[in-house]
């Protein structure tokens, strides 16, 4: 079967995907060990039997809802190829807004703490742009810590210390910037039964108190770990901007600002803490 025929066949089966053709292209490129542009350059080329069988197996898994990133084991974030697995969240494009916002406010030699690092996406992106920063990243999940460290090693990014820690439990010192993409989905949210999140760890998605419990804890404890005029940046749900700003205000943060993501939804809240 030709490449173009194979893609058309796969697209026709992926009826529950919002990006059926893209899913098929990524998976076929993975099987062929080529870039996706190869598929458009050589649409008439035929697959071998082995390639066809491998691709069909991946499509069967995708039909069941298994995320493309889990099938390929990788996801690009901030132009960095990251290893992913089911111990962590799959990095989302909107989280790049957190990186952008932090970079605007970072000095070249800032100290940065990333809470709940997962794959390491946020801190790796920041460290890649600011090689002279002192970076620390923590996660309560030991598998996530190992994965983030592997990504740092593969990317040859050396200015990050990774720790196994439940939020601030094993964190020492103070920082100019604290960033976090914590769990912020309410435990009764219907979206937990849809799409890729079905295959991601609930512990990285769900928080009590309408999704605000971990955000409240981080904002409260971060005050002890921020330098004077240090900044806290938290990613949150699109309907949580006002609630997060109110939490920050009650805890004495200043210069509070909520920033929208690429879809024009409230996504990041940043604030300054003055001692």
| Domain chopping of the chain, boundaries | 3-64, 78-273
In b/e form, how buried is each residue of 230-258, taking b as 16+ CB within 10 angstroms? bbbbbbbbeebbebbbebbeebebeebeb
Instruction: Give me the tens of pLDDT residue by residue for the chain, a chain 275 residues long.
Output: 899 999 999 999 998 888 999 999 999 999 999 999 999 999 999 999 999 999 999 999 999 989 999 999 999 999 999 999 988 888 999 999 999 999 998 877 789 999 999 999 999 999 999 998 999 999 999 999 999 999 999 999 999 999 999 999 999 999 999 999 998 887 767 666 666 677 666 677 777 788 899 999 999 999 999 999 999 999 999 999 999 999 999 999 999 999 998 889 999 999 999 97
Helical pair 49-63 and 3-13, crossing angle rounded to 10 deg: 20
Q: Which two tokens stand for residue 93?
A: 């494009």
So what's the pLDDT on residue 211? 87
Give pLDDT, residue 190: 66
pLDDT at residue 84, rounded to an integer: 94
Q: Taking Cα atoms as reference points, which of 261, 143, 239 lies closest to residue 191? A: 239
What CA–CA distance (Å, rounded) separates 210 from 12? 38
Token readout for 239 is 């309907």
pTM, two decimal places: 0.89
**Cα–Cα–Cα angle for 105, 107, 109, nearest 5°?**
145
pLDDT of residue 203: 72
pLDDT number for residue 186: 75
Q: What is the CATH number of domain 78-273?
A: 3.40.50.150
């Amino acid at each position: 079967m030709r490449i173009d025929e194979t893609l058309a066949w796969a697209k026709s089966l992926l009826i529950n995907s919002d990006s059926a053709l893209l899913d098929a292209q990524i998976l076929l490129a993975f099987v062929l060990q080529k870039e996706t542009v190869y598929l458009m350059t050589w649409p008439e080329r035929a697959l071998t039997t082995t390639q066809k069988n491998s691709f069909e197996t991946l499509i069967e898994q995708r039909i069941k809802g298994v995320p493309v990133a889990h099938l390929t084991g990788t996801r690009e974030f901030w132009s960095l190829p990251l290893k992913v697995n089911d111990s962590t969240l799959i990095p989302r494009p909107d989280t790049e807004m957190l990186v952008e916002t932090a970079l605007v406010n970072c000095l070249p030699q800032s100290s940065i703490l990333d809470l709940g690092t997962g794959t390491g996406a946020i801190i790796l992106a920041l460290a890649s742009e600011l090689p002279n920063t002192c970076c620390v990243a923590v996660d309560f999940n030991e598998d996530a810590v190992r994965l983030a460290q592997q990504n740092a090693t593969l990317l040859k990014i050396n200015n990050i210390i990774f720790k196994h820690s439940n939020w601030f439990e094993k964190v020492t010192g103070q920082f100019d910037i604290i960033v976090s993409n914590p769990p912020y989905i309410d435990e009764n949210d219907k979206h937990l039964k849809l799409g890729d999140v079905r295959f991601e760890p609930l512990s990285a998605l769900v928080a009590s108190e309408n999704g605000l419990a971990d955000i409240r804890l981080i904002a409260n404890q971060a005050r002890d770990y921020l330098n004077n005029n240090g900044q806290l940046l938290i990613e949150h749900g699109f309907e949580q901007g006002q609630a997060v700003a109110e939490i920050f205000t009650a805890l004495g943060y200043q210069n509070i600002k909520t920033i929208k993501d690429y879809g024009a939804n409230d996504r990041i809240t940043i604030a300054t803490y003055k001692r």
